Structure 1
Amino acid sequence: MDDLDTPVLDDHLHLDPVNGRNTEAVEEFADHGGTHLLVLNKPSWGLGVEVEDAEDFREVFDLTVQAVEDATEVLDGRAWPVLGVHPALISQLLDRGYEPEEARDLMQAGLDVAAEYVAEGPALAIKSGRPHYDVDEAVWAASNDVMKHAFELGGEVGCAVQLHTEGGEDFADVAEWAEDRGLPRERVVKHYSGGRMEGPVPSVLADKDELEVAVERGEPFMMETDFIDDPDRPGAVLGPKTVPRRVRWLLEEGHDEAIRNAHVETPARVYGIDTEATLE
Structure 2
Amino acid sequence: MRDLGTPVLDDHLHLDPRHARGIDAVTDFARSGGTHLLVVNKPSWHLGVEADVGEDFRAVFEETLDVVADASEELRGRAWPVLGVHPGLVSRLVDERGFDADEAAELMCAGLDVAAEYAADGEAVALKSGRPHYDVSEAVWDASNRVLRHALERAAETGVALQLHTEATEDLTDVAAWAEDAGIPPERVVKHYASGECAGVTPSVMCEKDYLEDAVASDAPFLMETDYVDDPERPGAVMGPKTVPRRVNWLLENGHEAAVERAHVESPDAVYGIDTVGTLE
Confirm or deny a common fold (TM above 0.5): yes
- CA distance in structure 1 between the partners assigned to 2:15 and 2:183 by the alignment: 31
Counterpart position of 2:57: 57
Normalised by the length of structure 1, the TM-score is 0.99
Aligned pairs for 1:11-22 (under 5 A) are 11-22=11-22
Identical residues among aligned pairs (%): 65
Counterpart position of 1:97: 98
Q: Give the Å deviation of 1:147.
A: 0.2
- 8 Å contact 1:169–1:197 — kept in the other structure? yes
For structure 1, the 5+ residue unaligned runs are: none
Q: Give the Å deviation of 1:241.
A: 0.2
Counterpart position of 1:82: 82
- 8 Å contact 1:40–1:81 — kept in the other structure? yes
Counterpart position of 1:233: 234
- CA distance in structure 1 between the partners assigned to 2:198 and 2:170 by the alignment: 5
- CA distance in structure 2 between the partners assigned to 1:2 and 1:198 by the alignment: 35
- CA distance in structure 2 between the partners assigned to 1:136 and 1:263 by the alignment: 38
Counterpart position of 1:43: 43
- CA distance in structure 2 between the partners assigned to 1:18 and 1:132 by the alignment: 28
Amino acid at match of 1:119: A
Residue 71 (str. 1) matches residue 88 (str. 2): no
Q: Give the Å deviation of 1:121.
A: 2.3
Amino acid at match of 2:139: A
Size of the alignment, in residue pairs? Answer: 280
In the TM superposition, structure 1's runs of 4+ consecutive aligned residues that sit over 4 Å from their partners are: none
- CA distance in structure 2 between the partners assigned to 1:17 and 1:119 by the alignment: 26
DSSP 3-state at the match of 1:270? helix
Amino acid at match of 2:29: F
Aligned pairs for 1:191-270 (under 5 A) are 191-270=192-271
Q: Give the Å deviation of 1:235.
A: 1.0
Amino acid at match of 2:65: V
DSSP 3-state at the match of 2:54? coil
- CA distance in structure 2 between the partners assigned to 1:199 and 1:20 by the alignment: 36
Higher deviation after alignment, 234-243 or 14-23: 14-23
DSSP 3-state at the match of 2:204? strand
DSSP 3-state at the match of 1:55? helix
Q: Give the Å deviation of 1:2.
A: 3.4
- CA distance in structure 1 between the partners assigned to 2:27 and 2:17 by the alignment: 14
Counterpart position of 2:175: 174
DSSP 3-state at the match of 2:82? strand
DSSP 3-state at the match of 1:57? helix
Counterpart position of 2:114: 113
Amino acid at match of 2:72: T
- CA distance in structure 1 between the partners assigned to 2:227 and 2:2 by the alignment: 24
- 8 Å contact 2:14–2:42 — kept in the other structure? yes
Counterpart position of 1:9: 9
- CA distance in structure 2 between the partners assigned to 1:16 and 1:163 by the alignment: 21
- CA distance in structure 1 between the partners assigned to 2:97 and 2:182 by the alignment: 31
- CA distance in structure 2 between the partners assigned to 1:122 and 1:20 by the alignment: 24
Counterpart position of 1:126: 127
